Amino acid sequence: MKILLAILTAPIYLDIMCHMVQFSFRLFCYGPSSARNYPNYRSLFEIFTRLWHRLNRCRERHKRRNSMKNVTIYTDGACSGNPGPGGWGAVLKYGAHERELSGGEAQTTNNRMELTAVIEALRLLKEPCEVELYSDSKYVIDALSKGWVYGWQKKGWVKSDKKPALNVDLWERLPLIAAHDVRYHWVKGHAENEYNNRCDELAVAESRKYK
């Protein structure tokens, strides 16, 4: 059902329906010879080919997802001064198992710590996983979920406002993310999410080590 919905909601499906209506009209009104001369006959074939490939990709992704372990990751970063001493924290959950990790730097920024938390959490995964990633960083969540970072990468790490992208050394570790099926969730910081709050405690504790 998920595969069918993915196909039906795709723009390519609308293209096929449009061509099929025109093609069927010619076939009904003018016969097979006219249908074969339909100007978009080749386009129709190409669209069906693309749809077939899309279906196969959906099947492979669905098959891979069913065999993957489901891991939930919460991350947070903190920085005193920004730039200044900072820390990051992460909590990984797999079934009944939980693991905390954290780290810090003497001179850094909040965004670097937010991104480092994600990278270090993903580094612990020994195989491709289905990951639910939670962070209170709009910088990280928007850049990944909206694909901004991939646009920066294609343009030589230049943003749409023509300014250079920051933290390129961290963003260049994107293959870590590509290895997994990641879904991104933004959560409000310092609110009611206990795991986000725990990550914040870990990050702040690490940053204080460098004061």
Catalytic residues: 76-77, 114, 136, 190, 200
Q: Helices marked H in the chain — which ranges?
A: 2-8, 11-30, 32-36, 41-67, 110-123, 138-145, 148-154, 168-171, 175-178, 194-208
Cα(191)–Cα(200) distance, integer angstroms: 11
In the three-class reduction of DSSP (H, G, I as helix; E, B as strand; rest coil), residue 31 is classed as coil
Cα(137)–Cα(121) distance, integer angstroms: 15
Contacts of 86 (CB under 8 A, 6+ apart): 77, 78, 79, 80, 104, 105, 108, 109, 110, 112, 113, 203, 206, 207, 210
